[in-house]
Amino acid sequence: MEAAMKRGEEEEEEEDEEEEEWLLQSLHMYEALHAFELQAPTRVIEWALGKRVCVAGYECSGRNEILQLLPPPTLQAKENQGLCPQRDFKVECGGFSNRPVYNLKHVPDTSLLVTSGPPDSSLQVWQMAAEDSDVIQSVGAISTENGTDESWAKIATISARAPWVLHGSRLSSTRLTEVESQKEVYRAASSSSEELGSLAFLDANTAVLCSAAGRLCVADIRQRGPLQALLIPSAQLGCCWRAAAACCEPSSRPIACLSSAGQLVLMDVRKTSPCLASARCKVPASGASAEFLCVSWAPALEGCLAVSGFDGAVHVYDTRSWDGSGAEAQPLFVHRGHAFGGRPSVTAHAWHPQKPRTLLSAATDGSLHIWDWVQPPGS
């Protein structure tokens, strides 16, 4: 017993020393780094009205908080703030969900939030707090036909002709619903029961669906024809896939596909030709789970994307140097700030909508970071 306790103390001391060493070495790498400790970990980070940030708990037992946070004021400062680990996010308002929140999206141009999570593929609709209130209130639910037979739904939102939500847990169950009236606008014509890995709007009329097995489909809501599936090149059996659309003009919008084995593939869904580029990212020797797998394009930094979910780090890559060889990619920057104190895993990350090198990231230990790395000289 005493020997085990001594080993535990030694491991804690080693972790503290490693974290202190990382902090000292990283002082010159960040324009800013702010850390916040949530009461419960989140697997969602969503920008909402007025550059607020929404997070939510995902515990399967008990109620889970949905919080609207105001980012630190120093985030907008022009001078270098250095490392600032104070708890300087402000909780503005919140609410409670009776189910875990695995996905959360703000409906653009509205004060509505849509969430999903176990035990089924239904959606919950929330009203963000009004000026005279601090409560995020439940205002309804969007049910699905198959009920508890399906896993939780992946969701994407857009405000085109009306506030819409695209949702589904499988290719065959994907549909587009008008949020307020709950009127079905579109239903994917597919007989495939493959589980959805992710989905995203390309524009007001088209969306890309990525199956967990590595198949891409483009859905055009103006047409009722069957979905045309495109297999991701070199997709390995047994891997889980996620995809993200770049934030650029639709005519030149690549899709980034990430597998649980660390494969990264860039594709143009308008063509059936081979991939635009491919690479590999490092995966822990112990293997990786697909539970928190996340890939996203930078909205204000050309050719850059971020990857997380393999361990306690967020890797940023510049894809402009990639070719079709599938060689291991060297990251442009790695944020390792979560990788201490019990070795938590990163659950989610999100780019700042305007600031090019600023991201938010969260981990299983409840830590929430907002960070801005220093631009390398000459870049």
**What pLDDT, in 10s, does the model give residues 4-16?**
445 545 555 555 5
Q: Average pLDDT, whole number, for the chain?
A: 84
Query: pLDDT tens across 163-185, in order?
Result: 999 999 998 889 999 999 999 99
pLDDT category at 31 given cuts 50, 70, 90 is: confident
Res. 30: pLDDT tops 50:
yes
Give span(s): CATH 2.130.10.10, the chain. Answer: 34-207, 232-379
Question: Taking residues 320-334, what's their average pLDDT?
Answer: 87
Provide the edge-to-edge strand list for the sheet that holds 294-297. 294-297, 304-308, 314-318, 333-335
pLDDT of residue 83: 54
pLDDT category at 288 given cuts 50, 70, 90 is: low
Domain 34-207 fold: Methylamine Dehydrogenase; Chain H (2.130.10)
Query: pLDDT tens across 34-49, in order?
Result: 888 999 999 999 999 8
Contacts of 1 (CB under 8 A, 6+ apart): none
Query: pLDDT tens across 56-102, in order?
Result: 999 988 899 999 998 887 665 554 455 554 457 888 999 999 999 99
Res. 331: pLDDT tops 50:
yes
Whether the Cβ atoms of residue 234 and residue 225 lie closer than 8 Å to each other: no
Q: Which of 73-87, 201-215, 273-287, 344-358 is least confident? A: 73-87
Q: How far is 293 from 47, CA to CA, in rounded Å?
A: 19
pLDDT category at 209 given cuts 50, 70, 90 is: very high
Whether the Cβ atoms of residue 316 and residue 264 lie closer than 8 Å to each other: no
pLDDT of residue 310: 92
Res. 130: pLDDT tops 80:
no
Res. 238: pLDDT tops 80:
no
pLDDT of residue 9: 53
Query: pLDDT tens across 143-160, in order?
Result: 886 555 568 999 999 988
pLDDT category at 236 given cuts 50, 70, 90 is: confident
Whether the Cβ atoms of residue 159 and residue 110 lie closer than 8 Å to each other: yes
% of the chain at pLDDT higher than 70: 82
Task: Decide: pTM greater than 0.85.
Answer: yes
Contacts of 205 (CB under 8 A, 6+ apart): 220, 221, 222
Res. 188: pLDDT tops 80:
yes
What would be the CATH architecture of the domain defined by 232-379? 7 Propeller (2.130)
Whether the Cβ atoms of residue 371 and residue 72 lie closer than 8 Å to each other: no
pLDDT of residue 105: 97
pLDDT of residue 5: 47
Res. 29: pLDDT tops 90:
no
Question: Taking residues 108-133, what's their average pLDDT?
Answer: 91
pLDDT of residue 379: 57
